Structure 1
């Protein structure tokens, strides 16, 4: 199956990732330069797919150290409607990476779980 995003979806996902990166930069005082450079050069979908396929990124490590995995690319993919745009293997890698670092997902009703929209 070919996973992708429409132009409108790409724009929305780009705006989400940019907002989360800006928030993370303010909260952590970490530049996230590599991520932002890739986001601007390659777009949201290509950047996300590339980063999700890696074992780990410096950005993820910084967010994990600060206890702010809610701002991570992985959390944005697994907890939102965007998960359907990505290969299930990449989503599973993101979920595993988050769980390994103690992130259980966003509150959904009375439990913590990864969103499956």
Structure 2
């Protein structure tokens, strides 16, 4: 994996974690450097980026001290997602809200244009990217 790609992934990860980017900005920037999907694992504080060439880059941004309840609250998760989609919620707040809804992590599938969110007992909420008009 070339150094410029790694630098781009790291910059997007840090800027997103700092609340500087919208979800659309993150997806667009990562697709430009060849990322096909990424997995954010709230329990480890790591995000793994999977590239089209088969390589993987892991960014460790640290665990948040927010508790993740056992129950998966789909309506609360959807509310957090909608807030992010209309840019009322940026990533730091999204992490807090989605963890409070029982989400332990998620996978963004760029090519498939959807995100799979996971609960502690294997629950899955699939959210398709909004249609661009």
Q: TM-score, normalised by structure 2?
A: 0.30
Question: Which structure is higher in helix share?
Answer: 1
Question: Which structure is higher in strand share?
Answer: 2
